[in-house]
Chain A
């Protein structure tokens, strides 16, 4: 699983990192900087939880096997 974050759309709500602290990282300004990060299988559920909470729908999780 790979994280795709639209940095133009991310507004720094930071709910991704609050709900999935082991998956999503924030930059110094509090905006998600996990674009391109690969999520190990044991954190997939957490990643989905974090992505689902993004109020801007800025996060897409590309599942293994999906064409990105």
Chain B
């Protein structure tokens, strides 16, 4: 499929790249795409996915994301990313965005997610115990697609039996290369969630879905489309992103035993390590639309130009981080834009950090050494959210979790 390059895009800024299917995304995507970005203009025009700008420079991206008046999240300015209804609050700008965020911010604040820590820790322990004695697991399927997903299903009070169906619909939306397929998957997700919304309107509970749909903005309740948009986005964010990132991180730790050993020997390093491992393993991107004809960072934009941001690799930009390919748990600051920047900063960031930190804490308590059971680089998948296809892990024997004898082999 050939993309028509718009007349105002100079040929020296056109780069052959498709964020769903490019060869760079099939293995070690962070390395491949950051190399491509270093060899491309700071802002280039990608030929894939119907054609769009890509902001390759992390520092330029950070500046742009902080200017919603110029680079808008509203699909009015980016028709190529229109959804029916728009997902919220991400597909709107301040001031409405600010009010929609206020509805869910307290639930996802650091204090809000702290209340969930015991449940997070218990589930992490149960899932690891389920595989520990066997000495191996396929991490993506057996753990990653269970752990954050089950936690989210509990928060939303969604029936656990529907987990696989929901994960499949979200997967269709985030990774199908064709926009019609993506929108169809989003439509199916929306149809499923419509029933849940109706149910919670009738009988609200103390769950996240009830909270989201009973919020008020501008002194009124939410419209049906706003309710649907809010709930759709919660599921898109909750079912896929942490699963993908935790899979990348566990693959890294399995391939770097000395780094992992440091965490086993000193679990107090885990918080810093997670920040550093997130920096090099971003999974999710976002879009904006240009609000008016303008020149910015040396590029001539037209109103309704489509901009794609790729925080997947912004933490690997040497303008942002010194010696970015070096993974160093002792870095004073691990700069990245994995959760975005500006008003749309990922609302789930504190929950994501908590889930990953607690998970690794529980893993090091039970499995003192492990490795990736595969030759060469692991296959991965691109799309709106990158993920390893499978992460086969092995470890020798099983380990007691008796706190009195934490290192005893059984």
Contact = CB atoms under 8 A, between A and B. Distances in A.
B105 A13 contact: no
A54 to B, nearest CB: 10
Most A-side CB within 10 Å, residue of B66, B102, B108, B333: B333
A56 B342 contact: yes
Interface in B293-342: 332-333, 335, 337, 339, 341-342
Given A11-B342, A12-B345, A14-B110, A30 B350 contact: yes
B259 to A, nearest CB: 22
Nearest to A18: B110
A36 interface: no
7 contacts: A12-B109, A14-B109, A17-B110, A26-B109, A30-B105, A52-B332, A52-B333
A26 to B, nearest CB: 6
A11 B108 contact: no
Nearest to B113: A30
A28 B110 contact: no
Interface of B: 66, 101-102, 105-106, 108-112, 332-333, 335, 337, 339, 341-343, 345, 349-350
Contacts, number: 46
B208 to A, nearest CB: 15
B5 to A, nearest CB: 34
Contact of A30 (B112, B337, B339, B341): B112
Contacts of B102: 29
> Interface range on chain A: under 10, 10 to 19, 20 to 34, or 35 or more?
10 to 19
Interface of B is mostly: helix
Given A13-B349, A56-B342, 7 more contacts: A11-B342, A13-B339, A28-B111, A29-B101, A29-B105, A30-B109, A30-B112
A14 B348 CA distance: 12
B124 to A, nearest CB: 20
Interface of A is mostly: loop
Contacts of B332: 52
Contacts of A53: 333
B302 to A, nearest CB: 28
A9 interface: yes
Contacts of B337: 55
Interface in A10-66: 11-14, 17-18, 26, 28-31, 52-53, 55-56
B42 to A, nearest CB: 20
Contact of B66 (A13, A14, A18, A56): A56
A12 B341 contact: no
B60 to A, nearest CB: 15
Contacts of A31: 105
A26 B111 contact: yes
A9 B335 contact: no
A10 to B, nearest CB: 10
A29 B345 contact: no
B110 A30 contact: yes
A18 B332 CA distance: 14
B109 A28 contact: yes
A28 B106 CA distance: 6
A55 B335 contact: yes
A18 B183 CA distance: 38
Contacts of B109: 12, 14, 26, 28-30
Contacts of A11: 341-343, 345
A47 to B, nearest CB: 15
